[in-house]
Structure 1
């Protein structure tokens, strides 16, 4: 008996785990992580092997120096045994890496913005399609119901549906107009009441001034 319960718990656990990993959100997240990692590698390669050398060369050319020494600001140099500067042990500002990191940020932000925009457009189109299909399905059900209740042809039932739909829309528009009119009237009454209260306060103030003057 205990063994059967243990097996059922194991099956339940793996069943719940299967549902979890096959959810749309989890799969989307996994795909996003993989694609994001691959894209990050591409951007880092572009930055380190293409942009950074070009930026360092441009900085050195603007300063008028040759080599990597023209692209960095040395703060505390360390020298190797042969008298050359040991960059690994030195303290310096690498302007090329800094500018390259900024370009990386804007590149990734631009690509992510483009991806999110495309996804939002796809979702909006999908939502519009679903709403259209739902409305079409509701229309078919309504026409079928009218045909059955009124005992008319499909074309006549569709005409009745369109007439009732137009009447319902007109009634809704009339109700909305009445509600807007009522709201405007209430706002006007509230404004008049506030004005009356203001006038009353002004009269009380004037009376108090007169009494204090006497």
Structure 2
């Protein structure tokens, strides 16, 4: 029974980490964004490309019959490729923006620390000694 409590405690500790929560938020937002890109491709891009493919139908309907009764669904494959390219571009832009933010943080020089009281006094003593000679 102690193994179970240890396992559960370890699992709670794992879940409480910030990285796991960030990952969960990312997955949820990614799923929502995936629905948006699917709609963009299926409802906007496909009908426009369907005009150029001929027949004035959506590109997703593009298919070729294969001897033996099957069909090659080229339009569905092109939909998947377009979805992937849009998602990859969005992730690229996001990573690029995050990297730019990190670079700006690194480039900002930290303000030099204020001299301690001892250093201020020693500087004054040094300056006074210079004046004497």
For normalisation by structure 1, the TM-score amounts to 0.45
Q: How far did residue 116 of structure 1 move?
A: 0.5
Q: Using a 3 Å threshold, how does the CA distance of structure 1 residues 66 and 106 change in structure 2: closer, same or farther? A: closer
Number of aligned residue pairs: 122
Cα distance in 2 for residues equivalent to 1:73 and 1:98: 12
Structure 1: segments with no counterpart, 5+ residues: 1-5, 78-89, 161-214
Taking CA–CA contacts closer than 8 Å with sequence separation of 6 or more, which of the two structures ends up with the larger relative contact order? 2
Matching residue within 110, 113, 135 for 2:89? 110
Per-residue CA deviations over 1:148-206 (Å, capped at 9, x if unaligned) read 2x6718xx47x99xxxxxxxxxxxxxxxxxxxxxxxxxxxxxxxxxxxxxxxxxxxxxx
Q: 1:15 to 1:21 in 2, by over 3 A?
A: same
Q: 1:92 to 1:43 in 2, by over 3 A?
A: same
Query: Which residue does the alignment assign to 1:163?
Result: none
Give the CA RMSD over aligned residues: 3.5
1:77-111 C-alpha deviation (Å, 9 max, x unpaired): 8xxxxxxxxxxxx5222332233222222211110
State the TM-score, normalized to the length of structure 2: 0.66
- Counterpart for residue 110 of structure 2: 132
Q: Deviations over 1:16-52 (max 9, x none)?
A: 5444323232122111111111111111122222222
**Which residue does the alignment assign to 1:72?**
63
Whole-angstrom CA distance in 1 between matches of 2:121 and 2:44: 75
Match of 1:36 in 2: 30
Partner SS state of residue 121, structure 2 = coil
User: Matched residues in 1 for 2:39 and 2:93: separation?
Assistant: 21
Q: 1:25 aligns with which of 19, 26, 48?
A: 19
Q: Which entry has the higher C-alpha Rg, 1 or 2?
A: 1
> Unmatched 5+ residue regions in structure 2?
128-133
